[in-house]
């Protein structure tokens, strides 16, 4: 499934809108404007919370947790000591961890599982700023991949609004 993710510029928190391939609004990410550490609610268009994203403050390097209904779904962490390319790990319960690798500053990266691509993020599809496409492979958890893309955007581009 293909999505378009846009950061809302005129908002008090880190807010994102996500549209499906047909241009229909699919999800909204509502960032808390005044919180200690970043906290975001990933919602469907009826306002139902599908996931909750929270920054872990006492960790070595940028680390976020993604929660589904009170259960930890993933821990997204930037690898600090890598050569040449940035990397993020997405630690999910069980053996199906993901890794994100690529050019995060240019919004050009992919998610892989056991070396096989499962999702692609690209700003090349678009000409205006802070908008990019995310293509999620069939059978993948769209909400998890999109939530991880939000986290990577916050870590790599979080100072844009300041």
pTM: 0.88
The 10s digit of each residue's pLDDT in 26-84 is 999 998 765 667 899 999 999 999 999 999 987 778 899 999 999 999 999 998 765 56
Rounded CA-CA distance 139/79 in Å is 27
The 10s digit of each residue's pLDDT in 133-161 is 999 999 999 999 999 999 998 888 765 54
Asked if residue 151 is part of any domain, the answer here is yes
Residue 112 structural domain: 2-157
User: Of residues 126 and 38, which shows the higher confidence score?
Assistant: 38
CATH code assigned at 54: 2.40.160.200
Residues 6+ apart with CB under 8 A from 57: 36, 37
The structural domain count of the chain equals 1
Average pLDDT, the chain: 86
The token duo for 1 is 């499934």
Rounded CA-CA distance 159/162 in Å is 5
Asked if residue 162 is part of any domain, the answer here is no
Asked if residue 15 is part of any domain, the answer here is yes
Residues 6+ apart with CB under 8 A from 39: 31, 32, 52, 53, 54, 55
123, with CB counted inside 10 A (0-12, 13-18, 19+), is middle
Rounded CA-CA distance 120/71 in Å is 26
């Amino acid at each position: 499934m293909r999505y378009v993710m846009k950061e809302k510029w005129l908002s008090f928190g880190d807010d994102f809108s996500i549209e499906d391939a047909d241009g229909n609004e699919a999800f909204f990410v509502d960032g808390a404007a005044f919180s200690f550490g970043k906290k975001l609610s990933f919602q469907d268009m009826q306002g139902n919370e599908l996931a909750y994203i929270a920054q872990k403050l006492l960790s070595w390097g940028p680390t976020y947790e993604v929660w589904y209904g009170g259960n930890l779904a993933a821990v997204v962490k930037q690898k600090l000591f890598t050569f040449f390319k940035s990397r993020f790990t997405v630690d999910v319960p069980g053996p199906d961890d993901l890794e994100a690798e690529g050019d995060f500053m240019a919004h050009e990266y992919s998610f892989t599982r056991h070396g096989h691509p499962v999702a692609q993020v690209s700003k090349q599809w678009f000409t205006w700023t802070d908008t990019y496409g995310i293509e999620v492979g069939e059978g993948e958890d769209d909400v998890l991949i999109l939530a991880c893309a939000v986290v990577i955007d916050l870590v790599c581009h979080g100072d844009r609004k300041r």
